[in-house]
Structure 1
């Protein structure tokens, strides 16, 4: 067997970090600017729904009812943005169960949004429409799903600071508003409900705009540090 001796130095490997240096941080799955835009959408959609609750009777028919339905749809579209951030950052944890939970909530919210749109376009079908009657169930189911996700988010500890807890604050809407309705009536519950939306989901959206790095599972993105 021939032996070949060469004076050419071995090529340096580029797939390892130099000794004593930390490995490069993985880029976040979603850009901070995207988190800010989706947070702004959540805040705007919530504001539209809250204002409609202040100004119009959500249980009324006619124009007021349609405005309430469309305003509720604006809020639901904002929730899709929140779910997108939660899915991309794995806010509820890295397990398959957590991923499936978010996908199920997207389906529930889509069906609830379909009710809002159809009820605004075809309010006369609300009384005897089987499809609308079935879709109506998904409004409370979608909110229940958001509550479960907010609890999972707290337990997962991937989102940090106020963003870890604020989804749970936002999802206390029913716990606060329903007793007020039972004790003080519809007029008081409208003001409390609309106000809670501003304190809960609108504030959550603004937190995403202000501090998107808190969604990045314990590490701050270089893009946030550069102000991008």
Structure 2
């Protein structure tokens, strides 16, 4: 006898690796991207103002203001990372997604250092734990630079938002040589100006053009 025909649909495959599965059509809403973009711009403006007024190397009350406004900036970076993670901005592979989570791990202790440096008495700021946390500040900024390069190569974000993260996240690579070559006064203007051109503008672009980071 001929085999009977069946209309039972084929079972769904469950052996497809998670990294190979397509991402959702809209993993984050445009409204959320706008809100997180505003958080990035607001935090950056707070720290940029401190840098332009007091520089990047200071003491006393000015140092505390710099640290606490630095916390606002770092919270803005968390907002940026939230958008990058939700849109898989660096790519779909496990390594591409993991690098964003590694950056979260670097940024968290760096933010804790900024908060403690702004609040603790001076006698406590020389504790060895503060020295360890302080290392995460430059590491987190270098991590953002790596993400900026990977994001541009991946090409998931489009238009100016494909390249602006690289401009913004080159802050450390631009400001630290400026501090060495141009001194504290030069680094103040270069660092503060770069924050406005880079991260503050990036936040505005996310606010005004959220569709450029969402899947087509």
Structure 1: tracts of 5 or more residues without a match: 1-25, 220-228
Aligned match of 1:144: 142
Q: In the alignment, which of 98, 101, 104 is matched to residue 100 of structure 1?
A: 98
Task: Sort the Cα spacing of 1:175 and 1:128 in 2 relative to 1 into closer, same or farther, 3 A.
Answer: closer
Higher relative contact order (CA 8 A, sep 6+): 2
> TM-score under structure 1 normalisation?
0.81
Contact persistence 1:57–1:65 (CA under 8 A): no
> Displacement, 1:50?
0.4
> TM-score under structure 2 normalisation?
0.85
Contact persistence 1:171–1:200 (CA under 8 A): yes
Contact persistence 1:91–1:158 (CA under 8 A): yes
Question: SS of the counterpart of 2:31?
Answer: helix
> Displacement, 1:118?
0.7
Aligned match of 2:166: 168
Aligned match of 2:28: 30
Q: In the alignment, which of 188, 201, 204 is matched to residue 203 of structure 1?
A: 201
Contact persistence 2:47–2:69 (CA under 8 A): yes
Task: Sort the Cα spacing of 1:173 and 1:58 in 2 relative to 1 into closer, same or farther, 3 A.
Answer: closer
Give the superposed CA RMSD: 1.8
1:123 and 1:59 mapped to 2: Cα distance?
18
Aligned match of 1:188: 186
Aligned match of 1:16: none
1:175 and 1:57 mapped to 2: Cα distance?
17
> Displacement, 1:173?
1.6
Structure 2: tracts of 5 or more residues without a match: 1-23
Which one is further off, 49-58 or 173-182? 173-182
Q: Which has the larger radius of gyration?
A: 1
